[in-house]
Amino acid sequence: MSLFRSSCPALAAVLAFGVAGCSTPSSGGTETSTTEVPPTTGTPSAEPTGPETPRTADDAGVAISIPQLPIGGGADDSSARDQCVTVSWLQPELLPDDGVEVTGIQVTPRGAFSVGGQCGDPKACAGFTFGAGADTCSVAVTARGTGGGARLTVQGKAVCAPGKESSCQDLRSRVSPGSIPLTQPDPTATETTATG
């Protein structure tokens, strides 16, 4: 045990020497410890003391949701179980510069039709952006045979360009919400087609 105690001061001296070797003298004659820090990717800037200014150059604007777009159109064959619905934007004068992106497609009542992807020539409405030269998309629907008719509506999102937020904000109140009627085919006609 005495051997261990006698080596502790030597070990402490070695550690002190190692720490002293990493220190740099300051102008006052005392030593201060420094640690190398890996370089950062940029120099942090000082926090501003006043209110923050709005971002303009890289700001994409404000997004507004439109619960029911001004659409029209119809199914190519309402007597079939599987139908292709063409959806068209009906108010081109209201389209903002960056267009209106489709964010949802809904059929009411729920369960009357299932909604699919693209059919026919126009692109699929899911994820489609109505804009200049792009005013038509398609939705494949399948009748579930629950009786009665149904209506297809489309929801969307418009991004208001910087500086045009005020005119774009009232887009929601200026659109004339539209829907497309869907017809359940006559079950006997569907059976005849399937067996004939």
pLDDT for res 99:
92
Q: What is the pLDDT of residues 166-196, one digit of tens each?
A: 777 788 889 999 999 999 987 765 443 443 4
The answer to whether residues 90 and 179 touch, using CB atoms and an 8 Å cutoff, is no
Say which range, 52-61, 102-111, 150-159, has the weakest mean pLDDT. Answer: 52-61
Average pLDDT over residues 124-135: 94
The rounded distance, in Å, linking the Cα atoms of 162 and 60 is 7
pLDDT for res 137:
97
Average pLDDT over residues 120-132: 93
Answering whether pTM is above 0.75, one says no
- What are residue 147's phi and psi, to 5 degrees? 85, 150
Is the pLDDT higher at 18 or at 138?
138
